[in-house]
Chains A and B, each alone.
Chain A
Amino acid sequence: MTDMAWNRKHLLDIESLTADEIVTVLDTARAFKAVGERAIKKVPALRGKTVVNLFVEPSTRTRISFELAEQRLSADIINFTAEASSLKKGETLKDTARNLEALNADFIVMRHSASGAAHFLSRVLNAHVVNAGDGAHEHPTQALLDAFTIRERKGKIAGLNVTILGDILYSRVARSDIWALTKLGARVTLCGPSTLVPKTFEQMGCRVVHNMDEAICDADIINLLRIQHERQRKTMFPSINEYTQLFGLNKARLAKTKPDALIMHPGPVNRGVEIDSDIADSSRSLILEQVTNGLAVRMAVLFLVNGGKGPQELTGN
């Protein structure tokens, strides 16, 4: 087959993907979403393959989503968390990963607090590496599931106004979303306190504004990010209360948006901080659809990288 726009062995970031490759993931995910709606939700695509979920940084929802995606593809799974591992005893990441590969792991799905950790692993291992979030760098599967959700609900991505609100500076989700959505032709606006949304992000092709009403008035999609206390070394804004006053999505602000504007949030939601509790549960909220779609997108990613041999195959190595 030459009509397939995917030859990558790993999924490390969105930045290096082409628009065609992103669309291939979204199209493939549509078929996998249908699998999740059947009575028998499992297919044998990764039968006999071993996947290691190497979560050096704590995560619940992403890990569970990957784990279920792997089970539905019939893979064998090893879960490896930082708390209960030799990393605590001083083993390096490279040694840990090599040990896992010595057990014939075919895939490593990694979450790590250091930016570039997934790229590093992909260079030292033969296994397929899927980045499940590296520091403040990228969280590619989140961006793919966000793009999938937007395309499914709006029928397209090109030409839409997408506003991302909140802690952009420390957010790998924001970076991956910006790459994915701008590559697919959306106009992305970033908004939040100037300490968390510096003007430098304009270099990524986005609009940066610091007034919430201005940011959301013409938005088709409002993507709210959580304030990540754990990534802030010093306080970047005076108080949570002030943040909510200035940047929280409440009913009064929502009333001033387009009537068909939809709300997204990668979770976990801080109700009453970045979003009013009623809005999070309203029919305009896509939060739970994002979770469902995340499963389909992760199945699609594992399915695609399984067949990808990477550039070394092309050069005849």
Chain B
Amino acid sequence: MTTDVEAPTPPKKDEERPESFLSLFLRNLWSANTVTVTALSILLALVIGAVLMVVSDSTVLSKFSYFTARPSDALTASWDLISAAYADLFRGAIFDPAAVQAWFDGTGTWQAAFNPISETLTYAAPLVFTGLAVAIAFRGGLFNIGGQGQAVIGCVTSAVAGFAFGLPPVINLVVALLFGILGGALWGFVPGLLKARTGAHEVITTIMLNYTATLFLSWLILQKGVQDPNRTDAISKTVDASAQLPAMPSPLRVHLGIVLAVLAVIGISWLINRSAFGFELRAVGVNPPAARTAGMSVARTYTLLMVVSGALAGLGGAVQVLGTADKLTPQVAGNIGFDGLLVALLGRNKPWGTLFAAILYGALRAGGNLMQADVGISLELVTVVQALIVIFIAAPALIKAIFQLRAARSARLGTSMAKGW
């Protein structure tokens, strides 16, 4: 019995007329590709934020109680609140048209015009580092949730180096930054070592170390030698001027940190994609048994990765202290660790994505400040919006369903690495 071999016939395609660029572009725009999903996630998150705003404002809520009688009252009140709040968000983060106008007129300074951007970049700078810390760890298969603790320790070590050594100008700054890196690296080394040696899951160990670090900070500030001798409250000595990051002229706060951040992005991008270590961590991140069989040491990679990740977060803390805060307080590290986590996820764990996500989140924070000062909407709303954005981009299928998007060309979206313990 002989049979001929037939190549399997490809499914018949209808003859396609070449599409115009515009219609192709529009068709791809309204599909579930990364950019569209991100934009729509942000939009949806802002909408939900608006709902929260309205729901928690008693004045506006009271207008809803007679909604059926005079709907316009409730709607106008809601709209006024929302637009005022989000306008503040914009004005505080990007630019304030009034201030720009004043600058052109000559009635205002250029500093005032650039202040919003300065604020955005100031908030963004440490987030880039903590975001990179999380991102690189994720690529290697590790969940480093300890960015906050590592940043706190970085704050501590860099601040102490900043006021304790009294070295000459540039050297003092470099040493202080190095100490920040070392502090974070140490705080990352511990969970990394425990994971490599005992298999202790890094989610738990890093989170526990977060709380430990914060407690340590609050204790350290009050100790002799650290506490500001002229104060009785929990404030440390001020970092020497020679150890502070150079900044733009006052009242602008943006400092060299943002430049360092961009350099870090370039460096980490090279590290992940072009270095031998990057090859190893990527292999271990997706398939530890294959990495092992090919001769790589998974334990060593995990440990080294947590050290690098911690170092990055520590540098973020150093940048925060040496650039913005100038001294230690119990809240000096703010939320940069947790925000860094969200930033990394939004940036799809890629270095450049992390940079842009950090700028976005810095903008939200800067704008949120104005929103809180002006309209009285709590800064917590910004946290809610930030978390919602990440939830939505992590489930692109949800966005796709809500907005009826077409399927994207490439199906690689979101952060689903789905590994569990």
A binds B: no
What is B's interface to A at a CB cutoff of 8 Å?
none
- Chain A residues with a Cβ under 8 A of chain B: none
